[in-house]
Structure 1
């Protein structure tokens, strides 16, 4: 402060011709002393008169620089604020001081803790720490700073295991309790919003008993204090500090100490005697020798002579210049190339206060201005405690934080960091490890949101990000993979020609058709034989033709459903089976009619000859064609994706369109089968060798049994097995018909030709 005022008083540009006076008070970090000084300043100093040419006035205070601590600054500001005396602090960082309603005359050159709290929260979030401990000074600085940090941390999703406060004035038991909490905690990261004096007390307590490795995150009050570097277990600590600065000429000013200057100041006297281990004045109270005058401060290596790490010092330097610029703007005017200042003007502190709100200047490359809350632009250095090659700890700047930059770009790390115990990997500090993809967080009852269990996503749902609170359902045609972290297309299922079941059914279908064609060939080869002629060869060939179609229509049920295959499979099946039943029914009627016609006076055969037989088959089949046509016109079958039978796969199947149409087709076939079965039963006692009614009865019995069991099996079978059941019913009933009706006749034709005679057929026994 003295150096800055002397620079200003020697300046020809700032306040030319005007000398600033000053008084410096040491508050001894005591609120009561600071309050006493504040009352003295607000009341005005004693009048000062100068008998020389220069005029002076009573020592009215135009501005106050300080105090260093937030608590003392708050007390002072409440006293001098009502008098409109501007106060510029270089080290009071409490966010509460930005409240202009309570502190209307307060300004500061150091950023508010609100900015530092936000920066610390972003720093913790940047490294993925969600489970931390918090320690603070029990003061306005610590309590308000930590409150701001905790508020910012909650926004970032960071949880706090504990938050402890203490002060150097507390009993030792309180300090020990805080140390014990740190020892027992599971959080590997500690955020310390603590003043330098309090931090030393805590670290001394922690050094007495080795504690588990902890990653310390520090506020600017202690993390850049070089006296703290002696605590080696803090190696790897990181935090934000005020930017380093260079003040030209300051080191020479500090080293220009004459014995008279030292002797006039109790503070400098104490410093000199401690530095050189001698006494300026001989005293019996100490065994130190008297300083002999050869002591050279320029050879001294101490924090006093080291001006390479100026941080808070620069804040005081800028505070003095800010008040000087405000006074300059109030009393000076620039005319042409010169600046004229009226040193006789009666300047009020309120006018300096108003001008201070507007100052905007640059000094030695440092910009100074204040926002509406009296705060400067917040810029910090990110510092890291790193061990050098010699093993000692040094402060290394590894990044910057600038609150004036756009959101998301304020924070920059441009160098490698070292961590607790010299590690190069970022330590992990979480209450619960991250939940992997495929799981979701379930909060543990009564614990912070950072403590949770990882639960596997429910069936049909996934989570594709770590630490997901929710799982979401896959789209309808997708299903989760085994890990439940992505949705995959559901496998499509249908009865295919490439799978064993499809191959077997297709083989039986083609085999049945071939068997039917062979049977027809045998019948055609022996078409003039008595057994073929006696069993109505025309209906037999028509029946064999329809059975061939029945076997082949089952092939339309295999393969991926399409619009034409869905319409063809049911209608072809319905029509061919009705044609088949019509032929069987015709043969049954022929048997009955043939025997009734042998009775005296009967002319039934005249009414049921070949023409009538063909007409009967065509008529019954036409009815089925009509039913199928109505079904196809009104609501035809169509291909569909069945997403409900199985959750994990898609069934391609043919929807019936109209269930009434399907059951009408099936019911009509059943009606003909029952009618045919009844007639065959009635004709079962007719002469055996001529009678094929028994064969028809057995075939109809098999046919009806197959289709009666088909109904419940069809309804209950899932997916592609529904189609397989239908194909099986078609093949089983078709094989039943060809086996029961044609196998015995083919056996006689091929292996018992002696029975294939008219005489044998007309006899009553075998």
Structure 2
């Protein structure tokens, strides 16, 4: 058996006779109460009652309404309860923050649970001042993140900002401005809308201010305007837009972004709705969902059958009709039949869908009901329930006892969403982003295009479907742009000038070696080491590895020359060996000849260590092997020159140099000079050996595979020692150039050493000025040319006689008399014997 109401929930709201659209809060409240009372599993055998009162949309009205509710209407003096059968258990209200705060100051004294369904002020989260306030909507802090996320998503960096002329507007501006600046979003203008009073039409200054705001809105280059305020504070903005639209026949069409505090379609005066201006608006709204049966409930409402608060006054204002008998006294007036349907009203008067505030009211009623059910179901109350029943026990509980149960409730509503109040006394489902499409007949259509879900992971907290948005017809369904300047293309960076806003900048190309891959890049950055910028400097291209290889023309040419000179050297060695018993060969030191030809052959083989991709072994051998073999070759030339001089000196009677003539001197010079270079190379390899490396920086588009010399000092020591040997050999040969010419090689050695020194003197400055494969090519060229110079200058004249002029390769030709100076003549064949065989 359902008994009469025992406990009362109170819903305090705006004065319904002034704004029919806000009356949907009442309908959602009544709908939820009816569902709870019909639910057999929730507070069985008990009926929750309710009372709806008016707070007059201001703090004074809220204060008066609460005092009147708690004491005057119940007939009780303050702080006394006279046994009346009605008991207030919770209060739902108010819609705006000022009213919620004013109500809380009174309700805190009696520890009444108070539920705010529309106040997002951050101050209400302070449990020191508001310990018994529960908020069924999120605080406004996430809304700031949502605004910034929305602007960043569409790349809007040049926006207009309009706030209300009150504390809330100042706090909003002070909080949002730093966040916009941190994200490089600038305000083209910041306007404060004055609050209209009763005598605003006679206020000249107020009308002038509204006119100036209208001029600012119509002249701004920003296509996006952010608005923060509530119904009362934003009526001035609506009026400024209305004046422009009707006086100048030019509506201010922009992308309006409206915060959750204001429903721009809720109007007090019917003619103040401007559908052209607000078409395509994006609004933040408290999260809502589709509740089954709600629209059917709205269709059944009949003012003649309902006793809802101000229902007839709402009907009169909404449908512009009068009830009997009042309609009899006004001619041509429409009579309210009660058969009017709310669904027939235009959207700016009433919308059938459940708004965010209405959804919060719906969840609040269920939250209180579940808390009451949990309290009465607790073990400590079982005995009392068994004795007197639930409805009897409801009279024995107090409002303050409900708090512990409110903090622990968790249930799913009829829309399938989980409802719970967190440790801060808040239910934070987040915000919906709504796109409102308006039509010329003042009807409207709302599209859910995004969500700010505070329960989602960080990367999915803000979502928006840009393709579902219908923009104002001014933009022809093209994504509106709102920037101070054109975006910097990839490959450029922004330069901000002193005194200008960060959104008003110049674009300059990235410097050499740097790129930018996004629009409006703050800085250009370097590519990875293995990549380089393209021509537009907007992406990185992989570098290709280069080295002197056998596949390219330069490598093939150098390798071919090395092979050719190697074969030539082998030919010379074969020819000399075949004709070793001929006089011209016997006149030369055969051992020196063999050592010199062998070292030259190895020198011609060294380029093959330089061609190809550098490896660990090739890097260790290429410089050291070349240095030693070349040192042996130059030492052999030096030994040949010294031997010639010693031999001629030894032919003079009584000269002591005769004991040095022979193989001992020759081998001693070669071994000693070569051993010094071997020691240099050993020290080099032990202390800081060469190694393969990839040079990422010398060339923009290439990675150079090369050998790092390890110790540059040791490299030049080795090179310098070869230069020393060459200069010494050149000097000695130059001094011996006037010896008898029959077989004397001093002139040929002088010319070969001059050629050798010229090549390597040119090599020293050229080598470090090149890089990559061309550096290697320079060294190979120097090796080949200098080695070929020795081969050609010293051996080709002899090879010419052996192969082409055999008649000159006779003893008679070799045994000739030459003048060393004008007074001395010697037997040349004796010299030859000394050179080849030692003392006779």
TM-score (norm 1): 0.78
The match for 1:383 is: 434
Is the CA contact (8 Å cut-off) linking 1:70 and 1:92 kept in structure 2? yes
Q: Give yes or no for contact 2:346–2:444 (8 Å, CA) kept in 1.
A: no
Distance (Å, rounded) in 1 between the aligned partners of 2:158 and 2:325:
53
Alignment coverage as a number of residue pairs:
751
Q: Which runs of 5+ in 2 are unaligned?
A: 1-10, 12-25, 201-205, 820-840
Report the CA distance between 1:298 and its aligned residue: 0.8
The alignment partner of 2:750 has SS state of helix
Task: Name the counterpart of 2:753.
Answer: 700
Give the counterpart of 1:234 among 278, 281, 284.
278
- In structure 2, the partner of 1:727 is 780
CA contact (8 A) 1:749 1:756 kept: yes
Cα distance in 1 between the residues matched to 2:328 and 2:788: 133
Aligned to 1:296: 337
Q: Please state if 1:736 is matched with 2:789.
A: yes
Structure 2 CA distance for partners of 1:217 and 1:736, relative to 1, 3 Å = same
Q: Displacement, 1:681? A: 3.4
| 2:302 matched residue in structure 1 | 255
Secondary structure of residue in 2 paired with 1:192 = strand
Deviation at 1:578, TM superposition (A): 3.8
User: What does the per-residue CA deviation read over 1:393-448, in whole Å, with 9 as the maximum and x for residues that have no partner?
Assistant: 32344566554555555566689332222855543445566666655565554566
Q: Quick one: distance in 2 between partners of 1:690 and 1:370? A: 114
1:181 counterpart (216, 232, 242): 216
Matched, 1:97 2:124: yes
Q: How much is the aligned-residue C-alpha RMSD, in angstroms?
A: 5.2
Residue deviations 1:225-268, cap 9 Å, x none? Answer: 48787513322223244536555885477424289x99x99946
| Pairwise CA distance, 1:646 | 1.2
Other-structure match for 2:161:
134
How far is the alpha carbon of 1:323 from its aligned partner?
7.7
Instruction: Specify the SS of the correspondent of 2:390.
Output: strand
Tell me the distance in 1 between the aligned counterparts of 2:597 and 2:413. Answer: 112
Could you tell me how far apart the structure 1 residues matched to 2:35 and 2:615 are? Answer: 95
Alpha-carbon shift at residue 222 of structure 1 (Å): 1.0
Is 1:416 matched with 2:468?
A: yes
Contact 2:638 / 2:729 at 8 angstroms: preserved in 1? Answer: yes
Q: How does 1:367-516 map to 2 (within 5 A)?
A: 375-378=426-429, 381-386=432-437, 393-398=444-449, 403-404=454-455, 407-409=458-460, 416-421=468-473, 424=477, 426-430=479-483, 445=498, 458-461=511-514, 469=522, 473=526, 476=529, 479-482=532-535, 490-516=543-569
CA deviation digits over 1:148-192, x for unaligned, max 9? 666776787755444433123471222233333333444433232
Aligned position for 1:168: 196
Runs of 5+ unmatched residues, structure 1: 50-54
Shift of 1:374: 5.1
2:390 paired residue among 311, 314, 339: 339
For residues 19 and 542 of structure 1, the distance between their equivalents in structure 2, rounded to whole angstroms, comes to 119
Give the Cα–Cα distance (whole angstroms) in 2 for the partners of residues 558 and 16 of structure 1. Answer: 99
CA distance in 2, matches of 1:635, 1:191: 71
1:335 aligned counterpart, secondary structure:
helix
1:214 aligns with 2:254: yes
2:615 match = 562
What pairs with 1:703-718 in structure 2 (closer than 5 Å)?
703-718=756-771
1:105-159 Cα distance to aligned partner (Å, 9 max, x none): 5455555545655555555455554543332333456555666666776787755
Give yes or no for contact 1:432–1:450 (8 Å, CA) kept in 2: yes
Corresponding residue of 2:16? none
Local SS of the residue matching 1:298: coil
Question: Do structure 1's residue 202 and structure 2's residue 237 form an aligned pair?
Answer: yes
Aligned equivalents of 1:426, 1:652: Cα separation in 2: 50
CA distance in structure 1 between the partners assigned to 2:253 and 2:338 by the alignment: 40
| 1:307-351: CA deviation from partner (whole Å, max 9, x where unpaired) | 733435666677778789989999996438943326987x87766
Which aligned pairs between 1:614-625 and structure 2 lie closer than 5 A? 615-616=667-668, 619-620=671-672, 623-624=675-676
Q: How do residues 673-684 of structure 1 correspond to structure 2 at under 5 angstroms?
A: 673-684=726-737
1:54-203 alignment runs, 5 A limit: 57=84, 66-78=93-105, 81-82=108-109, 84=111, 87-104=114-131, 106-107=133-134, 112-114=139-141, 119-139=146-166, 159-166=186-193, 167-169=195-197, 171-203=206-238
Structure 1 distance, partners of 2:654, 2:142, is: 122
Q: 1:268-287 maps to which residues of 2 (within 5 A)?
A: 271=317, 274-275=320-321, 280=326
- Superposed CA deviations along residues 22-42 of structure 1, whole A, max 9, x for unmatched, are 574462x35444444455556
1:499 positional shift: 3.6
Residue 15 to residue 119, structure 1, CA distance change in 2 (3 Å): farther
Q: 1:549 maps to which residue?
A: 602
Corresponding residue for residue 627 of structure 1: 679
Q: Is the 8 A contact 1:692 1:741 kept in 2?
A: yes
TM-score relative to the length of structure 2: 0.72
